[in-house]
Amino acid sequence: TGMNLQEQHFDAIAKHLTAAMAVGGASADDTKAALDRVASLKGAILNK
């Protein structure tokens, strides 16, 4: 079950997160840390 998220959806989430963090004034280090954390959850997010 779930939302049937695919690789392209995950990539879009990462892109939007990066853009939102830039608009919010996050540092490059903080953005990288957030993206690394999201990437570590990719399997769970995509139910794979």
Q: Is the pLDDT of residue 3 over 90?
A: no
Residues 6+ apart with CB under 8 A from 30: 21
Instruction: Provide the percentage of residues in the chain whose pLDDT is more than 90.
Output: 83
- Which among 44, 3, 36, 45 is positioned nearest to 17, based on CA atoms? 36
d(CA 30, CA 2): 29
Which whole number is the average pLDDT over 30-38? 98
d(CA 45, CA 10): 8
pTM, to two decimals: 0.82
Show the tokens assigned to 36: 């690394």
